[in-house]
Amino acid sequence: MIETVTIDPSFVVVNKPSGLLSVPGRGPDKADCLSARVQAEFPEALVVHRLDMETSGLMVFARSLDAQRSLNRAFEQRLVEKYYVAIVTGVVENDDGTIDLPLICDWPNRPRQMVDHAIGKPSTTHYVVLARDTTLMQTRVGLTPVTGRSHQLRVHMASLGHAIIGDSLYSKTPPPEGQRLLLHAAKLGFPHPVSGEPVNCISDVLF
């Protein structure tokens, strides 16, 4: 079963659980994914964007080729508003800030990404502190990516010395077994693929 957030003749927005691939991976053991589950209910559904397997939250699927082209164009032109909530290690000092670090695939260690000032692609993330827990030494943050690089939020927060809790790739210490990545795509806004009117979707953060 999938949790459907919004159904429109042109698109459907669903809530992806943590631990589920967005699209099929290589091999039959990676066939189960969000796109397959969505297409079981909406056979015409087409992929527009992805979330990391470990990340939960909102994803939009187009319901026609025209809608897919329109939504793809919105992502390319940065007309899509994305907002994530995460809990990171340590107490973040500044109340807000911007991380502007170019990213590129760490090819020998893929799928890891890394900061590379010489050949990395421009990557920008705005963050704001939502709450600090000085007992657990954790901080809840709101994250707004300007660009959409692979693992961008995870690498950017780790680069500040505040890896997202549950991050098995970028945390200095391996997370406990069974600890999910505490990163959730909580808000997704985009122009309607037909009318151009704003569409805004919200998903509750369960951590």
Catalytic residue list: 52
Rg of the chain over Cα atoms, rounded to whole angstroms, equals 17
CB 38 within 8 A of CB 98: no
Task: Look up residue 41 and give its two tokens.
Answer: 């209910």
- Residue 93, both tokens: 């000092």
CB 140 within 8 A of CB 85: yes
C-alpha torsion angle, residues 141, 145, 149, 154 (rounded to 10): -10
Cβ pair 111, 160 in contact under 8 A = no
The answer to whether the CB of 138 falls within 8 A of the CB of 90 is yes
Q: How many CA atoms lie within 13 A of 163 on its CB side?
A: 12
